[in-house]
């Protein structure tokens, strides 16, 4: 895989790739343009063709061609790899040909079914009248490929099946695609969707993988909505309805609008909210959150105000707050959903969106409306809201809400903080992310500020050695290998790509603004500080190991290592002359 990635990087110029999304202009040895991630006026987006990196100073995002395509297209690494491989003309190791052929057949079935439903809509006055009544325009119908699945009482139970049979598809294939089903009684397979307005559900690349069908008949006892069963192509925990069309809107508006149903998504887009998505037939999952996180860490929930909607909102909020999202809620009028409001008065809907509150504030007000008993209100806040506050990773935000809750309950901030700390103690804390120091054999769990500084300074020096491609950079690499007792390439691999990108452009800027002598003196000073910190840290770690073993052989080996490190500390400091 790493060979393929490097091959793609070698064949594609990052400037050419990014120029398809951003207007770039030469700025010294780099290129510069307006950020594609925000609506900035002053360009702060830089691209380095030499290092194959980009960095946006307005949004603190950076990386290589793969992270750029992931962000812009809202896809994962695997999909970005496919897109860039196709652009570079690099052949990926393909999946089993037989399995690929089967998947291609399933996609083809769904494509033909979608075209069939679209044609049937044109022939159904009832379905067209229904969509018109719901405020859906012809343009929207075309964009979303909305269709109609015929069925009883006017048509039969096997309309789609018969059509696909005529095109050469087997019942087994149609069952695998989720468009027909069978029963235990041995009868012929029949259509999953009958007399329903059809909403195709597409994966990230726009390919249809499933459907959601809304019953047309008013007096039917059938469920209002029926979704496709899970198939090889469709996993409901992984698909957000409308995501393929909302990617650009989410990135441009810098927030996702999560609504409840297909009509809500379609009407939101029609009203100009091109960032709307919905979960289909399931609660919000970690995979859904990951999809949204690629585009923006802000989200607005516009769910129904009934009990089920409130419960769904709480679950979604906890999941997203835990991931560092800024979660707001639009207070929908009871009994109204976004689609209804947009048809009745789109301006009123926009007012509701404009008055959105942070989820904590929304829940505080909601609970207050539901009770006049102050003690009962306090108990509800403790049981329902404090566990959500605990999920907020940003301590400043958490403190703000502690203060607000204390004011609402007329109690001290300390008492609220005590309860939050108690709840937090009972929850499993996430493990800290691995850092360069951990990969260098140094334990950094619950690392103090000194370790954080050591990691940051180490990252700076590793990137500086790469940026300085001359002999000076080479000697810094050698010094770092001596300090860490690790190969430079291993140290470089452990720096997050976004951090490396940011440091790269920062160091570039410093090189342009200071003399070479001043730059070299600064780097030598940083190296001496880093050597002192790392060597002392490694000694302290080995001393801790001494207290954890009674094996004489291990003790002697550890003592030898400590002696060696102490000898390194006694060595003369690096000087600028050593690097000339």
Token code pair at residue 146? 């909305």
465-510 pLDDT, tens per residue? Answer: 888 867 788 888 998 998 888 888 888 888 888 888 888 888 887 7
Domain limit, last residue, from 29, 59, 88: 88
Query: Do 116 and 62 share a structural domain?
Result: no
Tell me the C-alpha distance between 114 and 390, whole Å: 45
289-320 pLDDT, tens per residue? Answer: 988 988 888 999 998 877 788 888 888 998 89
Name the percent of the chain lying above pLDDT 70: 94
357-410 pLDDT, tens per residue? Answer: 999 999 999 999 888 888 999 999 999 999 999 888 888 889 999 999 999 999
Residue 431 covered by a domain: no
Residue 238 covered by a domain: no
Query: Do 217 and 113 share a structural domain?
Result: yes
Predicted TM-score (pTM) of this structure: 0.67
* CATH code assigned at 357: 3.40.1360.10
β-pairing, 276-279 vs 196-202, is unpaired
Token code pair at residue 196? 């329903």
Query: Do 124 and 84 share a structural domain?
Result: no
User: Considering only CA atoms, which of 572, 565, 542 is closest in space to residue 484?
Assistant: 565
Q: What is the DSSP string of 296-332?
A: -SEEEE---SSHHHHHHHHHHHHHHHHTT-EEEE--P
β-pairing, 256-259 vs 298-301, is parallel
Query: Do 374 and 263 share a structural domain?
Result: yes
Residue 285 covered by a domain: yes
Match 């504030």 to its residue by tokens.
361
142-170 pLDDT, tens per residue? Answer: 999 999 999 998 999 999 999 999 999 99
Contacting residues for 10 by C-beta, under 8 A, at least 6 apart: none
Token code pair at residue 233? 């192509």
* CATH code assigned at 150: 3.90.980.10
Task: Write down the mean pLDDT value for the chain.
Answer: 87
User: Considering only CA atoms, which of 76, 80, 74 is closest in space to residue 17?
Assistant: 80
Tell me the C-alpha distance between 195 and 155, whole Å: 8
Contacting residues for 306 by C-beta, under 8 A, at least 6 apart: 334
pLDDT tier at 414, thresholds 50, 70, 90: very high
Q: What is the DSSP string of 322-373?
A: HTT-EEEE--PPTT--HHHHHHHHHHHHHHHHHT-EEHHHHHHHHHHHT---
State the residue range of the domain holding 50.
2-88
* CATH code assigned at 15: 3.90.580.10
Domain limit, last residue, from 425, 458, 490: 425
Per-residue pLDDT, 92 = 81
Query: Do 383 and 491 share a structural domain?
Result: no
Tell me the C-alpha distance between 46 and 302, whole Å: 36
242-256 pLDDT, tens per residue? Answer: 999 999 899 889 899
- 3 state SS of 215: strand
Tell me the C-alpha distance between 326 and 255, whole Å: 9
Query: Do 395 and 311 share a structural domain?
Result: yes
Tell me the C-alpha distance between 437 and 268, whole Å: 47
Residue 243 covered by a domain: no
Count of helix runs (H) and strand runs (E) in the chain: 25, 17
Give 98 or 19, the one with higher predicted confidence: 19
Query: Do 320 and 198 share a structural domain?
Result: no
Domain limit, last residue, from 180, 197, 227: 227
Quote the number of domains for the chain.
4
Q: Helix 395-409 vs helix 359-369: angle between axes, to the nearest 10 degrees?
A: 20
């Amino acid at each position: 895989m790493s060979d393929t990635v490097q091959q793609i990087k070698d064949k594609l110029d990052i400037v050419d790739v990014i120029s398809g999304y951003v207007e770039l202009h030469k700025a010294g040895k780099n290129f510069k343009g307006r950020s594609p991630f925000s609506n900035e006026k002053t360009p702060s987006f830089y691209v380095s063709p030499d290092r194959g990196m980009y960095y946006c100073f307005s949004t603190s995002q950076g990386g290589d061609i793969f992270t750029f395509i992931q962000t812009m297209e809202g896809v994962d690494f695997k999909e970005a790899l496919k897109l860039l491989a196709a652009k570079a003309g690099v052949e990926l190791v393909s999946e089993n040909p037989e399995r690929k052929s089967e998947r291609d057949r399933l996609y083809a079935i769904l494509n033909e079914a979608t075209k069939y439903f679209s044609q049937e809509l044109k022939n159904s006055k009832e379905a067209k009248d229904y969509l018109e009544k719901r405020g859906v325009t012809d343009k929207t119908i075309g964009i979303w490929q909305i269709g109609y699945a015929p069925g009883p009482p006017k048509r039969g139970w096997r309309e789609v099946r018969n059509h696909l049979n005529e095109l050469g598809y087997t019942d087994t294939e149609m069952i695998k695609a989720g468009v027909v089903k069978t029963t235990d009684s041995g009868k012929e397979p029949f259509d999953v969707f009958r007399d329903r307005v059809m909403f195709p559900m597409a994966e990230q690349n726009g390919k249809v993988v499933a459907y959601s069908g809304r019953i047309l008949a008013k007096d039917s006892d059938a469920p209002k909505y029926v979704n496709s069963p899970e198939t090889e192509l469709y996993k409901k925990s992984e698909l957000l309805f409308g995501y393929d069309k909302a990617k650009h809107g989410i990135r441009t508006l810098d927030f996702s609008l999560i609504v409840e149903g297909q009509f809500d998504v379609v009407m939101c887009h029609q009203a100009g909210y091109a960032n709307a998505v919905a979960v289909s037939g399931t609660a919000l999952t970690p995979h859904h959150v990951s999809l949204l996180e690629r585009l923006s860490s802000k989200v607005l929930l516009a769910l129904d105000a009934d009990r089920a909607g409130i419960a769904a909102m709480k679950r979604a909020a906890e999941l997203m707050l835990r991931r560092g999202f800024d979660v707001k809620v639009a207070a929908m009028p009871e009994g109204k959903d976004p689609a209804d409001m947009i048809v009745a008065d789109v301006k009123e809907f926009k007012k509701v969106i404009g008055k959105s509150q942070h989820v904590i504030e929304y829940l505080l007000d909601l609970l207050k409306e539901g009770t006049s008993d102050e003690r009962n209100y306090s108990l509800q806040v403790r049981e329902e809201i404090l566990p959500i506050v605990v999920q907020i990773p940003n301590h400043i935000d958490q403190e703000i809400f502690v203060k607000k809750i204390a004011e609402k309950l007329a109690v001290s901030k300390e008492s609220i903080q005590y309860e939050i700390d108690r709840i937090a103690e009972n929850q499993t804390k996430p493990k800290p992310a691995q850092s360069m120091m951990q990969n260098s054999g140094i334990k950094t769990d619950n690392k103090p500020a000194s370790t954080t500084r050591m990691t940051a300074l180490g990252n700076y020096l590793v990137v500086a050695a790469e940026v300085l491609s001359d002999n000076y950079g080479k000697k810094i690499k050698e010094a770092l290998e001596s300090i860490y007792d690790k190969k430079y390439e291993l140290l470089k691999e452990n720096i997050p790509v976004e951090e490396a990108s940011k440091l790269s452009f920062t160091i570039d800027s410093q090189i342009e603004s200071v003399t070479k002598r001043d730059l070299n003196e600064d780097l030598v000073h940083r190296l001496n500080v880093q050597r002192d910190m790392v060597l002392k840290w490694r000694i302290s770690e080995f001393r801790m190991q001494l207290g954890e073993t009674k094996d004489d052989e291990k003790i002697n080996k550890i003592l030898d290592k400590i002696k060696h490190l102490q000898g390194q500390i006694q060595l003369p400091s690096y000087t600028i002359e050593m690097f000339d």
